[in-house]
């Protein structure tokens, strides 16, 4: 088991611990539970889905990398496929606050980057901030997304974001988690191809500036992040953040990163290169390249 889970795991009910032990055994547990694993945990604990998600939240919060605040937020996004995706907030020392990933963004982008086509619910250990409510309003689940918070009755995003501003106000019809492909041909080695494929899947309807990042770990594992824009612009998740989030959720650390590639359009109105390079450097990675998509 990855050491980050030790304390949270010890605090779980005994029947949940026994059922989870084999799932968490791998230090690179992918921080998600398949529908079959969720069924096993429900059976072992007698909990319904909402109660089980609350019981698992301390493990999601243990995935946080809150190196500045030490305030660990945890979220679990439930995909329509039945898979559950953990998320934790990420803060990057030596970078800017704007590079922060919120736990809700972490869980949601985790689901999206793993190919999930939509979300049914999200469970969070704190009330989602305004930025996260806005980030959620970009999803194809719209205002019907269920939000479960400790000590409160379940509500929908509609309740938490009244009089919402969103993609519709900018006449955008393709939503986050809708299938997208921007048509760039992957070339080069596996890492380069992964970066182009990530750019192909990006959600960039406001700027038409698709981009993707691929990170290679020293053991050969590759993690990719696709750019996810937001109607209100600022809650946008940059492609590096998506990739770092997956890497961290899978039990890897920044020193494990050996090489990074950003793929973006040469003539795009928005450019990721400088911000990506600055954050990578702050994390101690100085082997990175850029592919210019045409
Ligand atoms: O909805 C929220 C609010 C805050 N945070 C994180 C961001 C930052 O890392 C820390 C302090 O705000 O908590 C979240 O993850 N979600
Ligand atoms: Zn937030």
Cβ–ligand 1 distance for 71 under 6 Å, the answer yes
Model pLDDT for residues 152-190, shown as the tens digit of each residue: 999 999 999 999 999 999 999 999 999 999 999 999 999
Whether 27-170 shares its CATH topology with 190-293 is answered: yes
Residue stretches of the annotated binding site for substrate: 89-91
Cα of 69 from ligand 1 centre, angstroms = 9
State the pLDDT at residue 200. Answer: 98
pLDDT digits (tens, 9 = 90+) for 72-131: 999 999 999 999 999 999 999 999 999 999 999 999 999 999 999 999 999 999 999 999
- Among 109, 77, 73, 76, smallest CA distance to 89 is for 73
- pLDDT at residue 137, as a whole number: 98
Write out pLDDT tens, residues 195-208. Answer: 999 999 999 999 99
Closest C-alpha to 177, from 143, 210, 200, 202: 202
Query: Does the Cβ of 91 fall within 6 Å of ligand 1?
Result: yes
Ligand that comes closest to the CA of residue 102: 1
Which parts are annotated binding residues? 89-91, 102, 129, 132
Q: How far is the CA of 244 from the centre of ligand 1 (A)?
A: 17
Kindly report the protein residue whose alpha carbon is nearest to atom 14 of ligand 1.
102
Report ipTM (2 d.p.): 0.99
Is residue 104 part of the annotated active site? The answer reads yes
- Catalytic pick from 14, 43, 104, 229? 104
- The class level of CATH for 27-170 reads alpha beta
Quick check: CB of 132 below 6 Å from ligand 1? yes
**277-290 tens-digit pLDDT:** 999 999 999 999 99
Domain layout of the chain by residue ranges: 27-170, 190-293
The pLDDT of residue 181 is: 98
* Ligand 1: centre distance to CA 153 (Å): 22
Provide Rg for the chain, Cα atoms.
18
Q: Which of the following CATH numbers is that of domain 190-293: 3.40.140.10, 3.90.1300.10, 3.40.1260.10, 3.40.50.300?
A: 3.40.140.10
3-state SS, residue 228: strand
Q: What is the pLDDT of residue 263?
A: 98
Average confidence (pLDDT) over 2-24: 98
């Amino acid at each position: 088991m990855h050491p980050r889970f030790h304390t949270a795991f010890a605090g779980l009910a005994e029947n949940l611990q026994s059922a989870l032990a084999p799932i968490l055994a791998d230090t690179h547990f992918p921080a998600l539970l398949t529908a079959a694993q969720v069924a096993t945990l429900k059976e072992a604990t007698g909990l319904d889905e909402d109660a089980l998600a609350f019981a698992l939240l301390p493990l999601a919060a243990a995935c946080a990398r809150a190196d500045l605040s030490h305030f660990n937020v945890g979220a679990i996004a439930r995909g329509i496929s039945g898979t559950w995706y953990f998320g934790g907030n990420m803060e990057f020392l030596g970078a800017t606050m704007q590079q922060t990933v919120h736990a809700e963004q972490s869980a949601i982008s985790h689901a999206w980057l793993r190919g999930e086509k939509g979300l049914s619910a999200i469970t969070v250990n704190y009330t989602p901030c305004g930025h996260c409510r806005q980030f959620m309003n970009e999803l194809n689940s719209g205002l019907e997304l269920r939000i479960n918070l400790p000590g409160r009755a379940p509500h929908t995003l509609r309740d938490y974001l009244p009089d919402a501003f969103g993609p519709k106000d900018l006449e955008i019809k393709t939503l986050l988690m809708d299938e997208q492909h921007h048509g760039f041909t992957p070339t080069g080695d596996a890492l380069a191809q992964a970066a182009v494929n990530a750019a192909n899947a990006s959600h960039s309807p406001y700027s038409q500036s698709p981009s993707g990042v691929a990170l290679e770990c020293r053991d050969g594992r590759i993690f990719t992040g696709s750019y996810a824009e937001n109607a209100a612009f600022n809650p946008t998740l940059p492609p590096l953040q998506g990739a770092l989030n997956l890497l961290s959720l899978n039990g890897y650390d920044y020193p494990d990163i050996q090489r990074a590639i950003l793929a973006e359009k040469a003539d795009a109105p928005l450019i990721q290169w400088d911000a990506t390079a600055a954050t990578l450097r702050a994390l101690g990675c100085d082997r990175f390249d850029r592919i210019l998509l045409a």
